[in-house]
Amino acid sequence: MKQYKINVNGTFYEVTIEEVDASEIKSAAPAPAQAPAAPAAAAPASGEKVNAPMPGNILAVNVNVGDVVKAGQVGMILEAMKMENEIMIPCDGTVTAVGVTKGATVESGAFLFSIG
């Protein structure tokens, strides 16, 4: 056994480490399986799709399926790096699908909504 003094943020700790042979090491138990991530909402086959330009959190969802919208209207607000980014409606039309909810965390390229 070997003893060491370790300094962590100005606090000293004494630790003892035991040396073992390779024959004494038991194989590690397999890591527990991770729960599958929530399935991403499937993007509709038609219409103009709007995807997340960057990873972040959805602060507001201003559109619902069936809403008639105009180009330039704010569809969602995405917070990324402490900044609120307005996700604009790209064209006039009707919202055909919404893929996220308020409070959701999205990755870059994630489907947000579509206009048909």
pTM: 0.61
Instruction: Give domain status of residue 29, yes or no.
Output: no
Tokens representing 80?
A: 């990324």
Q: Which of 53, 98, 57 is nearest to 77 (CA)?
A: 57
Provide the domain limits for residue 65. Answer: 48-115
Compute the distance between CA of residue 30 and CA of residue 75 in angstroms, rounded to an integer: 45
Residue 92's CATH number: 2.40.50.100
Average pLDDT of span 63-90: 93
Within a domain: 82: yes
For 21-60, how does the pLDDT look when each residue is reduced to its tens digit (9 = 90+)?
A: 777 666 655 555 554 444 455 555 567 999 999 999 999 9
2 in any annotated domain: no
Query: How would you classify the pairing of strands 83-88 and 74-80?
Result: antiparallel
Question: What ranges in 42-99 are assigned the alpha helix state H?
Answer: none
DSSP state of 109: T
Asked if residue 109 belongs to a domain, the reply is yes
Assigned domain for 110 exists: yes
Residue 3 within a domain: no
Domain tally, the chain: 1
On whether residue 96 sits in a domain, the answer given is yes
> At 23, is the secondary structure helix, strand, or coil?
helix
